[in-house]
């Protein structure tokens, strides 16, 4: 079921968006060569406790997960592209780090993700991160009342194609509200004009993620982490966006945080 939010409800969703953005900023700032993924999870966990927020991940146990997630952030490194379960790993020079984070504040969820390279970057890694950021920007630009989900999807897919990357269609964006995952599904490729018609009050997570080689993934032995089938590296960028009378509003905007 697709739920629409009133302008007052969208205002009430802003603290969650700001909080999620602030955690991503803090986790990124705390990352350097040698940082352990478990330390990054602990930073986010402390911020959740201090803010009185609620993790969307720690008890998360969907049909595709082997067990409750047990951590509060996803840390996907290099060929891990989504749902990376934090483990005892010290980040190495040149790693691509993707952090995905969702939390609830005042009963409203926000969901956002960033990718960055630690230390000396391979230009090809910077390029794939840039492609997901450009795709997110292009998708958000289409998140206006009167457009269709397909307009967002096509804009994202066009950016992937312009960089020469394929698009995996197994996972994409989603409605966001009281729960982390709701309707509609927001695929990362599609045809303009197709699908659900966007309207004011719709709040969605838009989340392009691409891989440098294949568009196929497999699940790691940890039961959660999704890795590229060919070992190629990937990147993931996400914002929670409200469709309003004034256009798209990025609830998880990190500008100035
Ligand atoms: Mg997310």
Consecutive 10-residue averages of pLDDT for the chain (257 residues)? 96 98 98 98 98 94 84 98 97 98 98 98 98 98 98 98 97 97 97 97 98 97 96 98 98 94
DSSP-assigned states of every residue in 117-154: E-SSPPHHHHHHHHHHHHHHHHHHHT-STT-BHHHHHH
Cβ 98 vs Cβ 10: under 8 Å: no
Cβ 72 vs Cβ 44: under 8 Å: yes
Confidence at residue 67, expressed as pLDDT on a 0 to 100 scale: 84
Confidence at residue 65, expressed as pLDDT on a 0 to 100 scale: 75
DSSP SS3 for 34: coil
Give the tokens for residue 58.
């720690």
Q: For residue 250, report the distance from its CA to the centre of ligand 1, in Å.
A: 14
Q: For residue 122, report the distance from its CA to the centre of ligand 1, in Å.
A: 25
Confidence at residue 158, expressed as pLDDT on a 0 to 100 scale: 98
CA–CA distance, 235 with 79 (Å, rounded to integer): 9
Confidence at residue 150, expressed as pLDDT on a 0 to 100 scale: 98
Look at residues 4, 60, 18 and name the one whose alpha carbon lies nearest to residue 184: 4
Helix (H) and strand (E) counts for the chain? 4, 14
Give the tokens for residue 225.
């982490």
Look at residues 136, 139, 157, 159 and name the one whose alpha carbon lies nearest to residue 147: 139
Q: For residue 150, report the distance from its CA to the centre of ligand 1, in Å.
A: 20
Alpha helix stretches (DSSP H) within 147-208: 149-163
Q: For residue 24, report the distance from its CA to the centre of ligand 1, in Å.
A: 11
Q: For residue 90, report the distance from its CA to the centre of ligand 1, in Å.
A: 23
pTM, to two decimals: 0.97
Q: For residue 63, report the distance from its CA to the centre of ligand 1, in Å.
A: 17
Q: For residue 130, report the distance from its CA to the centre of ligand 1, in Å.
A: 18
Confidence at residue 190, expressed as pLDDT on a 0 to 100 scale: 98
Task: Among 3.40.190.10, 3.40.630.10, 3.40.50.300, 3.90.230.10, name the CATH number for the domain at 7-250.
Answer: 3.90.230.10
Confidence at residue 2, expressed as pLDDT on a 0 to 100 scale: 94
Confidence at residue 205, expressed as pLDDT on a 0 to 100 scale: 98
Question: 10 Å Cβ neighbour count for 250?
Answer: 18
Q: For residue 113, report the distance from its CA to the centre of ligand 1, in Å.
A: 6
Sequence ranges of the domains in the chain: 7-250
Q: For residue 194, report the distance from its CA to the centre of ligand 1, in Å.
A: 24
Q: For residue 8, report the distance from its CA to the centre of ligand 1, in Å.
A: 24
Q: For residue 178, report the distance from its CA to the centre of ligand 1, in Å.
A: 15
Q: For residue 153, report the distance from its CA to the centre of ligand 1, in Å.
A: 17
Cβ 188 vs Cβ 156: under 8 Å: yes
Which of 178-211 are b and which e, b meaning 16 or more Cβ less than 10 Å from the residue's Cβ? eebbbebbbbbbbeeeebbebebbbbbbbbbbbb
């Amino acid at each position: 079921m697709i739920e629409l939010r009133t302008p007052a409800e969208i205002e009430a969703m802003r603290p969650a968006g700001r909080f999620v953005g602030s955690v991503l900023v803090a986790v990124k700032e705390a990352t350097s060569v040698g940082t352990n993924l478990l330390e990054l999870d602990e930073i986010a966990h402390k911020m959740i406790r201090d803010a009185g927020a609620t993790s969307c991940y720690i008890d998360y146990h969907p049909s595709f997960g082997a067990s409750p997630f047990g951590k509060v952030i996803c840390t996907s490194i290099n060929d891990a592209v989504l749902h990376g379960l934090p483990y005892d790993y010290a980040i190495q020079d040149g790693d691509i780090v993707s952090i995905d984070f969702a939390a609830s504040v005042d009963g409203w969820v926000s969901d956002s993700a960033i990718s960055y390279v630690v230390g000396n970057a391979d230009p090809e890694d910077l390029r794939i991160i840039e492609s997901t950021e450009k795709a997110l920007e292009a998708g958000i630009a289409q998140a206006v009342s009167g457009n269709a989900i397909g307009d967002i999807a096509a804009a994202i897919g066009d950016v992937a194609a312009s960089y020469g990357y394929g698009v995996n269609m197994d996972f994409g964006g989603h409605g966001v509200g009281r729960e982390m995952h709701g309707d509609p599904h927001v695929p990362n490729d599609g045809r303009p004009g197709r699908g659900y018609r966007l309207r004011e009050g719709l709040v969605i997570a838009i989340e392009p993620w691409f891989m440098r080689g294949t568009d196929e993934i497999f699940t790691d032995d940890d039961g959660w982490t999704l890795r590229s089938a060919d070992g190629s590296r990937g990147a993931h960028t996400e914002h929670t966006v409200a469709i309003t009378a004034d256009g798209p509003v990025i609830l998880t905007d990190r500008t100035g945080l």
